[in-house]
Structure 1
Amino acid sequence: MPVSGDIKAVDASQPGDSQVQVYAVAPRDGATPNEVVDGFLESMTSDDSDFRTTRKYLTKEASRRWKPSAETSVLAKAPNRSDRPVHDHDRTTTEVTYTLTGEQVATVDAQNAYQPLVPTDFSRTLHLVREKTPDGKEWRIDSVPDGLVLGQSDFKRLYRSVNKYYFATGRSDAEATLVADPVYLRNRTDPSTGMDTVTQAVRSLLRGPTDWLRPAVASRFPKGTDLRKGVVSLTPDDRNVLKVPLDKNADGTGQRVCRMMASQVLFTLRDLTSARVEQVELQRSDGSPLCVLDADQAEAYAPDGSSGGPDSQYFVDAKGRVERIPGSTRGSGEPEPVAGPFGDGALKVSAVGVARDEQSAAALSQHNESLYVASIAADGELPVPALTSKAADPEDRLTAPSWDGRGDLWVADRDPDDSRLLRLPHGTDKPQEVTVPSLGGSRIAGLRLSSDGVRIALLLTKDGHTTLKIGRIERLGPQDDAEVSVVDLRQAAPQFADVTAVSWSGRSRLVVVGKEQGGVQQVRYVQADGSTPSSGVLPGVNQVLAIAAADDEQLPLMADTFGDGIVKLLPGDNWQTVLKEGSALVYPG
């Protein structure tokens, strides 16, 4: 026991070990209104299956109506309740009203989809009455909003981020690519009730994609497919094989579609179990095997499978040439000029974007005026510009280009008189304007495409501030002549008042450089849904101008800095200088 030192206030809701099980406690006989409200809030943070104990704080009618899964309000800290309850009748104590307050930072909807919020005031009321029970009259809550109210630390202890996987629409089965759909599932440890995390993840996968992603993806599971009746738990066997018994809706599925269904399960469970699932066997309603797929076979549908080898790093040297650091060296190899006009000095380059197959690249001329596309695997002449900006200021011209997983090239023209988002199909076709209906007066300052080609990260400037938003890419019409738009922009890093740079890092994660209001520059990971992992903050590095991450999370994070040149960060290490001279480093994409 400490016998000296300062006294510090401790938040009652502290981050804890996710493996520790917390039991809810039912209200005691004769509990006061304060005890009922406090007990109700505390029981929300327990491992109470279906909130059976939590409902004991409610009247019978309120318990029947209350829907805890409707929404979860995430507050910066555990909710405060009004110290003095408001009595509805001055002369009686048969009704009492409490107010719950706090600062809300996020919400999780009924589909378990997370949405970050700019911190905003939160207020909810609870109404209590004295209800008749076999032991006499007891205080119980008779009016309660649907959903849960949790402090951020409890939320992080109780929930975990899980990527469900669905197939991008508008592509043939031969080109089928899985897309990560992040949700938050409550950590459960009770397989007897089917509430263990593996079972929850599979059930969530079968229910289909979240509303935000739904227009751009599809599940290969037949509509209405569920686990076979009576199945309460899914557990890999000692050979890491997971058997998934399905109901009769899936009985007639063919082998090709069944294998695609199994790949959805494999990728969804990849990070969930301590013993990795190496094989999935989907079963018919009678228990007979429908199909079997192992992890290696599922790689054909991987979201980041377009490269086919270890990603190299590419940068612009002091002479304006594009150079390559071989991918097998993890950023430590000797740079070499790429083949073609971008490496032989025919064009002084300011920024480059390399196709995911590493056969071609797009580069901007020295003052961001023109965009060129050429091979970096074979010698050739400098082609005519694919696009030219008419803006007078170089800072108002073209952004650094980015390639999606479909082989299309994206760039934005920041010209104040003609600001546009443009896509070059196959990287070489005529530029097509992409509509972004929800820009709201903002101007695109930078962009990065996800490897699945379904999402785009946009740096948007308005009123002197640059923020990060994620948009969904929708394609209407034939695959070769689709009308493309970016819709439903949503905040991805609301904690940052200004964002400097962004890069995709893996299937559903970004690395972001930015500043909080009045703060210093930070480098941190952010999930595609805007949530921040507990280990999201990275070691500090001075004056980052650009950031680059690979789809393979084991490859180093690279940063272009002012003064220190290009630096890299390997997992578990500190930043190290790679090149004193060089800029605009990128990975393929």
Structure 2
Amino acid sequence: MMRRRLAAASVALVALLLAGCASIPTSGPVQAGDPQSADAANDVDILVPGPADGATQSEILEGFITAALSPRNNYQVAREFLTAEFADEWQADAGATIDVLADRELVAVNETTMRVDATPAAALLENGQYEEPDVRTPIPLDYRFEQVDGEWRISSAPTGILIDRIGFTQVFREYPLYFLDPTFEYFVPDVRWFSGPESAQTSIVQAILAGPAEWLAPGVVSAFPEGVELDPAAVPVSGGVASVSLVGAAFEDLSTVQRMQAQLDASLVGVRNIDSVALTLNGVDPAAPPLTPEPVRNPRVDPRSVVYDGETFGYLATSGEGIDPIAGISDTVATLAPTGASLGLDAEAVAVRNENGVWVVRSDEEAVLLDPRDGLVTPAIDGQGVVWSVPANLPDQLAWFAPDGDTAQVPVPWSGSTIAAIEVSRDSTRMAALLSDGGRTHFVVASIERGADGRPVGLGPTVLDLADVPGTALDVAWLDSRSVASITGIDGGATRIVTQELGGFARDRDGPASGVLIDGGNNDLRVLTAAGDLDVASGVGWQVRAGGIRFIASQQPG
């Protein structure tokens, strides 16, 4: 049996840019940095050669994998490495295995079969959803060969493509699809990745019609009725206008039509120079007025940190000196001797933890004890004023408490021996959690399912697994509508911060020494240290903004 490393660059590639030529790296370590945006002006077209005469099985396999870097004309060049029959069957768009190129190995199994052992860095599902793997053990991918007119060709291969992460960022682009929260007040992003920039707008519309990702679906709604289809099955763009023709349902409700248009506008405008979307329904222009008010795409919080210094709870002055109390709230919070808190929508309520449990303080009202259980994490509060609470050592015992006193414990989709932190997104559709399970710390997001009255029914049954995090779980925070961050402690008092785009990449950086809590602000990382210093990210380092702080609180918009 032959075993060897698969060549990092088996053929020469040429990337042609609008302004000239540039090479694309197809090997080497993953580099930190943002993937190219969906509306990048210089979309890359990778030119790859077809099979050479007399090529060996291994050369055909390497050439086929490399040719999949070019999605042009439905992977036309890659199909040249296949038998004619299999070329018609191969489903290139059925997803992707994104692997670690340096660890990729090729094995000759027998005279007509070769295997690639690929160590997964991520997976791309058929719907364009990017997922972190549960485990990172090698995946065996078998390729079978036949001779056609004396030349080796592949007669069987896994569906989808095999691509390394650097190649992935060159071939695929990320596109946020937008769905709606149940109140129709917010757009909720669902990031997908598609290849073939010339057909991105069609992929986006088809994905919207198919509905949100499985993990997100329980917490959001779509304006598009079931059974609606894109006909013709393409979205042409002319003069900056994308034409979307839908059929298959009666479109008689004005508000539904307005929300459909709003979803399409939010998801398509800005993609491939699209300035507007022309919608036709069963061949008719609905001529619906724009939806007003338009749902908020990325709700923001007060830019000031919410802190407690042992005496005053409120907004930290922008100078870092002094705390501005919150009228009707701060004095009552201070009397509880709090150890943690989360500020609600418009600063009208705050969920507070102290030695006796979790309380709620509503503006100009007395504090109410909600959860007297021992060992609670800092509670979360959502935009409906619902307080969420869970014991650190019992992560499956999550409970919610509504403003009218109603309460329930709900099943959770995560597992772990302990839970360090929870926080609700600013559109109140998702919950992030940081858990530990033995020596593993993991980071998940689940959707929040609500009934018609807005009360939580529970969390969705499926979580979005984010990057595994090294060290001891400490805290989690939302940065914006698409990104979350965690902080973990590692040896010697050092900390590590991981920022994760939901449906995208994770990036990590060193945090300040002895960090204990993290706050996202408006994509503005802040870390509180054990010494009471509030540090803010400054370039590659950290700068002290204030001292003498006991804790920093998360916020809902306001």
Is TM more than 0.5 here? yes
* 2:196 equivalent to 1:183: no
Per-residue CA deviation, residues 121-156 of structure 1 (Å, 9 max, x unaligned), is 12112111111xxxx321101121111111111112
Cα distance, 1:520–1:226 mapped onto 2, change above 3 Å: farther
The normalised TM-score by structure 2 is 0.83
Q: Which has the higher contact order (CA 8 A, sep 6+)?
A: 2
Superposition RMSD in Å? 3.3
What is residue 96 of structure 2 aligned with on the other side? 72
Distance 1:468 1:30 in 2: 50
Cα distance, 1:588–1:481 mapped onto 2, change above 3 Å: closer
Structure 1 residue 339, shift from structure 2 partner:
3.0
Distance 1:538 1:178 in 2: 30
Cα distance, 1:580–1:76 mapped onto 2, change above 3 Å: same
What is residue 548 of structure 1 aligned with on the other side? 519
The normalised TM-score by structure 1 is 0.79
Q: Does the 8 Å CA contact 1:168/1:176 hold for their aligned counterparts?
A: yes
Q: Does the 8 Å CA contact 1:544/1:561 hold for their aligned counterparts?
A: yes
Structure 1 residue 51, shift from structure 2 partner:
1.0
* 2:434 equivalent to 1:456: no
Per-residue CA deviation, residues 388-420 of structure 1 (Å, 9 max, x unaligned), is 12x3xxxxx12111122333211113366x972
Q: Does the 8 Å CA contact 1:311/1:587 hold for their aligned counterparts?
A: no
Match of 1:112 among 118, 122, 128: 128
Query: Within 5 Å, which residues of 2 pair with 1:92-111?
Result: 96-111=112-127
Structure 1 residue 518, shift from structure 2 partner:
11
Consecutive unaligned residues in structure 1, runs of 5 or more? 1-8, 89-95, 392-396
What is residue 335 of structure 2 aligned with on the other side? 346
Per-residue CA deviation, residues 214-241 of structure 1 (Å, 9 max, x unaligned), is 333332123333444275533663xxxx
Distance 1:486 1:189 in 2: 32
Structure 1 residue 372, shift from structure 2 partner:
2.2
Q: 3-state SS of the aligned residue for 1:575?
A: strand
Cα distance, 1:103–1:323 mapped onto 2, change above 3 Å: same
* 2:360 equivalent to 1:373: yes
Query: Within 5 Å, which residues of 2 pair with 1:25-424?
Result: 25-77=49-101, 80-82=104-106, 85-88=108-111, 96-117=112-133, 118-131=135-148, 136-169=149-182, 171=183, 175-186=184-195, 188-190=196-198, 195=199, 197-229=200-232, 231-234=234-237, 237=240, 242-249=241-248, 252-269=251-268, 272=271, 277=275, 279-286=276-283, 288-291=285-288, 293=290, 300-302=294-296, 304-305=298-299, 310-319=302-311, 321-325=312-316, 329=318, 334-340=322-328, 342-343=330-331, 345-365=334-354, 367=355, 369-376=356-363, 378=364, 382-389=366-373, 391=374, 397-414=375-392, 420-424=397-401
Q: How many residues align?
A: 522
> AA paired with 1:13?
S
Structure 1 residue 25, shift from structure 2 partner:
1.8
> AA paired with 1:355?
G
Structure 1 residue 525, shift from structure 2 partner:
1.5
Q: Does the 8 Å CA contact 2:532/2:550 hold for their aligned counterparts?
A: no
Per-residue CA deviation, residues 339-383 of structure 1 (Å, 9 max, x unaligned), is 346436422111111002211212122x3x22222235x4x5x43
Q: Does the 8 Å CA contact 1:283/1:291 hold for their aligned counterparts?
A: no
In terms of mean alpha carbon deviation, does 57-66 or 488-497 score higher?
488-497
Consecutive unaligned residues in structure 2, runs of 5 or more? 1-7, 10-24, 37-41
Distance 1:299 1:511 in 2: 30
> AA paired with 1:410?
W
Q: 3-state SS of the aligned residue for 1:52?
A: helix
Q: Does the 8 Å CA contact 2:494/2:511 hold for their aligned counterparts?
A: no
What is residue 553 of structure 2 aligned with on the other side? 586
